Amino acid sequence: MTGAPGEPYGGFDYARQAMMRPFALVLATVFAGACAQPSPEPPADLVLTGGVIRTFDTARTRAEAVAIRQGRIIAVGTDASVRPFIGPATRTVDLAGRLVLPAFHDVHVHPMSAGVELGQCNLNDLASAAATLDAIRQCAASNAGKPWLIGGGWLLTTFPPGQPRRQDLDGITGSVPAVFSSSDGHTVWVNSAALTAAGITRATLDPPAGRIERDARGEPTGLLREAATDLVTRVVPATTTDEYQAGLVRALARLNAVGIVSFEEASAREPMVAAYRAVAREGRLTARAHLSLYADPALDASQVDRFVATRTSVREPGLSATAVKIFVDGVIEAGTAAVLDPYIPLAGDAGVRPHGLPNFSDEALTALVTRLDREGFQTHMHAIGDAGVRQGLDAIAAAARVNGPRDRRPHIAHIQLIHPADVPRFTSIGVVANMQPLWASRDRFITELTEPRLGPERSRWLYPFRALQQAGARLAGGSDWSVSSVNPLDAIEVAVTRKDVGAPDDAPAWLPEHRLDLDTAVAAYTNGGAFVSFEDDSGSLAAGKLGDLVVLDRNIFERPAREIHEARVLWTLLEGREVYRADNFRP
């Protein structure tokens, strides 16, 4: 294997693998079920024995050994059944009873921007206003002399009720413009110098799909919501190509370390596409990347012409640009998600509109989705409020009626609040429920900002994963990193417990009727994710499938659910090649 322990594999040859796949498929067909046959020619490159293997195939087969040749699985079964595939050059690894799963897929993540953020003023995971301001103070000191101070990741809940002020920053940053995006990416917090640089005053009007928060005198407070964030981000120095590439490489190492080998980039703009292509050409793309191109709500369906050109230009192995990301609405916590019934007003809600801030009219969204669908694009939507989810379902259904049947695999991400009448429509229309289970616990976002805006009756339909499953919907899992943890095991635990990560057994579950069983939760991050990405040769462990797998340090199926997050990935294989190995693992 290549690469030092704990380091990502740096030179994965997708081109060679792509050329060998047809040949490998033929061999897989010939040798599948050849357990009792004489030694095949050629032998496997890698054989893993002595494991606890959960294949997540349709029969939920369990095994103890797997053989891989030229990036594909050629046998799964007992130790004895794979022995004929061992030749003189075969590498054999004894797993000593460790758990093997299909490698994980993340179908809604922002790795490039998350990686860039790691190199800026990183405010992620800070649990108090004091800690956040202290981190900004340190960033200001270490970035002295730079024209702007840029960062992100702060939590709305650290400044109840999600309302930090420019004055909080002014004493720290002085005359240097400072811009910090919130962890959910739907709010930007700026200082007075940044407002001045952007020309934002009390006379500045709110954009149609955005809001400038204002104090009692009408002065901007330093918070910009949704489309209003563009008022300041357009004057911030642009992220350079080198910064984007460095951010992606940082992010790939983090993804591989938690077992992710394939992902959907949830909002790719043109400079990001260029950086992805450069990293892929240099052989540094250690996961298959599917880019969802950003659709600008301010533009009409004519922007699809640009998407077609971009899709055509992306030809690098391991990279695709066949989906388009549509932000249907905002977020409930800021009162910008589109809701069917009016929000319950909270303190500081002077600018919140009763039904939120939908980014499209019904007609405009349907026109965009229909045109995308006609051009063969996959639809990847952000929809959080029940009105936003319904609007997205309506648009997808309308496009299918106009354009006729085809293999679409549209998915709607976040689906925080769903009207019960719309739950079965995911199945009837064929829309994948792209869920972020880590958010489905009684945390401060829920108790302080979400439930108070919705009231108890509507809140019963927050993250209704179990209802979706029972209705026959296909589930897939994503992290939305850097909004929240990128580790699938964290999210899988919360999907099963509906409690905060690591919560004790006696802690009450939040809406326990929406809990998922462990098999279903893991399947969402394996074959569910593979389905969304049109990777029908991944997501499970069977002869003919890609050699995408992870080895964990413990069997999460034999431990209490509250301990799932404690499991660690020891080894990640992408198409049979190592892309991550933990320091304490010596295969």
Q: Are residues 211 and 226 in the same domain?
A: yes
Q: Are residues 140 and 196 in the same domain?
A: yes
- With CA atoms as reference, report the closest residue to 286 among 320, 315, 263: 263
Q: Which two tokens stand for residue 53?
A: 């293997």
Q: Which two tokens stand for residue 458?
A: 């509507």
261 with 574: CB under 8 angstroms?
Answer: yes
- With CA atoms as reference, report the closest residue to 40 among 91, 92, 86: 86
Q: Is 37 a domain residue?
A: yes
Q: Is 315 a domain residue?
A: no
Structural domain for 46, as ranges: 14-103+543-581
Distance between CA atoms of residues 56 and 540, nearest Å: 5
The domain boundary residue, chosen from 198, 233, 268: 233
Q: Is 166 a domain residue?
A: yes
Q: How many domains does the chain have?
A: 2
Q: Are residues 115 and 223 in the same domain?
A: yes
Q: Rounded mean pLDDT of 106-119?
A: 91
Q: Are residues 85 and 156 in the same domain?
A: no
Q: What pLDDT, on a 0 to 100 scale, did the predictor assign at position 41? A: 60
Q: Are residues 198 and 135 in the same domain?
A: yes
DSSP assignment of 383-407:
E-SHHHHHHHHHHHHHHHHHH----
Q: Are residues 118 and 209 in the same domain?
A: yes
Q: Is 90 a domain residue?
A: yes
Distance between CA atoms of residues 372 and 304, nearest Å: 7
Q: Is 224 a domain residue?
A: yes
Q: Are residues 19 and 74 in the same domain?
A: yes
Tell the burial category of 54 from Cβ atoms under 10 Å away from its Cβ (0-12, 13-18, 19+).
buried
Q: What percent of the chain has pLDDT over 90?
A: 72
For residue 5, pLDDT over 60 is answered with: no
Q: Are residues 213 and 135 in the same domain?
A: yes
Residue 57 sits in a domain whose CATH number is 2.30.40.10
Q: Rounded mean pLDDT of 459-480?
A: 98
Residue 470: CB atoms within 10 Å:
12
Q: Are residues 36 and 82 in the same domain?
A: yes
Q: Which two tokens stand for residue 166?
A: 């420019």
pLDDT tens, position by position, 288-340:
999 999 999 999 999 999 999 999 999 999 999 999 999 999 999 889 999 99
Residue 142 sits in a domain whose CATH number is 3.10.310.70
Q: Which two tokens stand for residue 253?
A: 């190492």
First to last CA, the chain: 9
Q: Name 330's Cβ contacts closer than 8 Å, sequence gap at least 6.
A: 186, 225, 226, 336, 337, 338, 356, 357, 359, 384
Distance between CA atoms of residues 411 and 409, nearest Å: 6
Q: Are residues 178 and 93 in the same domain?
A: no
For residue 10, pLDDT over 50 is answered with: no
- pLDDT, greater one: 256 or 120: 256
Confidence of residue 3 (pLDDT cuts 50, 70, 90): very low
Confidence of residue 14 (pLDDT cuts 50, 70, 90): very low
DSSP assignment of 230-297:
HHHHTTSPPPPHHHHHHHHHHHHHHHHHTTEEEEEEEEE-HHHHHHHHHHHHTT---SEEEEEEEPPT
Residue 263: CB atoms within 10 Å:
28
pLDDT tens, position by position, 487-508:
999 999 999 999 999 999 999 9
pLDDT tens, position by position, 379-417:
999 999 999 999 999 999 999 999 999 999 999 999 999
Q: Rounded mean pLDDT of 364-375?
A: 98
Q: What pLDDT, on a 0 to 100 scale, did the predictor assign at position 340? A: 98
Q: Are residues 118 and 91 in the same domain?
A: no
DSSP assignment of 329-349:
---TTTT-S--SSPPPP-TT-
- Furthest-apart CA atoms within the chain: distance in Å: 84
Q: Is 490 a domain residue?
A: no
For residue 441, pLDDT over 50 is answered with: yes
Q: Which two tokens stand for residue 37?
A: 């046959």
The structure tokens 């593979």 sit at 530
For residue 27, pLDDT over 50 is answered with: no
Strand partners, 359: none
Q: Is 45 a domain residue?
A: yes
Q: Are residues 68 and 160 in the same domain?
A: no
Tell the burial category of 344 from Cβ atoms under 10 Å away from its Cβ (0-12, 13-18, 19+).
middle
Tell the burial category of 175 from Cβ atoms under 10 Å away from its Cβ (0-12, 13-18, 19+).
exposed
The domain boundary residue, chosen from 233, 262, 294: 233
- pLDDT, greater one: 5 or 72: 72
- With CA atoms as reference, report the closest residue to 405 among 425, 380, 430, 426: 430
> What's the mean per-residue pLDDT of the chain?
90
Q: Which two tokens stand for residue 363?
A: 């007609």
The domain boundary residue, chosen from 199, 233, 267: 233
Q: Is 417 a domain residue?
A: no
Q: Rounded mean pLDDT of 6-12?
A: 37
